[in-house]
Amino acid sequence: MNDLVPLERIENKIHQIRGQKVMLDFDLAILYGVETKVLNQAVKRNLSRFPDDFMFSLSKQEILRISQFVTSSSRSQFVTLKRGYNIKYPPHAFTENGVAMLSSVLNSERAIEVNIQIMRAFTRLRQIIARNKDITYLFKELKHKVDRHDTEIGLIIRAIEKMIAVDTKPKHKIGFLTEKEER
């Protein structure tokens, strides 16, 4: 079952749109082994299962933005999108919850197995993001310590420079001055 669709292949199909991680209908259709039209018909018959936070249609600007990233797995959609907004229906974007809901709408064995892999991919991405947040926090802490140490080292260097600085003012001689020295 793990060989059905490699996680890396699924992860490459996850896009960031409207601040959410989503998968597009035509990518999902390819993974599920159905036509995009069939997938969208199943969704349309069960529209109440897909509120806006599960699925949304892409705007023209979003389509143009993602068309740069759509690759050879969906070559025909890529060509259509690259020429402009001349497709009959805008693609749907499914959030993680929307993808999970698709398993109840598409009731084939392949759909169930692929859905399991997709859920694993979303989980793996969440773990990677969590690790990156931890690393980012550690770097900020390290930077703060380094900045503080830089300031302290700077103060130490200035104090040492003051200690070893040679006074450039001419020193007054002690005693009586001769006529030559007074001039």
Segments making up each domain of the chain, as ranges: 7-128
> Mean per-residue pLDDT for 156-176?
74
pLDDT recorded at residue 149: 77
What's the confidence (pLDDT) of residue 41?
Answer: 92
| pLDDT at residue number 87 | 60
Span 57-115, pLDDT tens digits: 988 888 877 765 444 344 444 434 443 434 677 899 999 889 888 877 887 777 777 87
Report the pLDDT averaged over residues 133-151.
Answer: 77
Packed helices 96-105 and 25-32: angle between N→C axes, nearest 10 degrees? 40
Q: What is the DSSP letter of 169?
A: S
Query: What was the pLDDT predicted at 101?
Result: 86
Measured distance between the N- and C-terminal CA atoms of the chain, rounded to whole angstroms: 104
The three-class DSSP label of residue 24 is strand
The predicted pLDDT at position 54 comes to: 92
Highest mean pLDDT among 18-22, 70-74, 124-128: 18-22
Residue among 59, 74, 66 at smallest CA distance from 28 = 74
pLDDT confidence bin for 47, thresholds 50/70/90: very high
Percent of the chain with pLDDT over 70: 78
Bigger pLDDT: 155 vs 51 = 51
Order of strands, sheet of 92-95, starting from the edge strand that comes earlier in the sequence: 14-17, 20-24, 92-95, 55-57
Average pLDDT, rounded, for the chain: 77
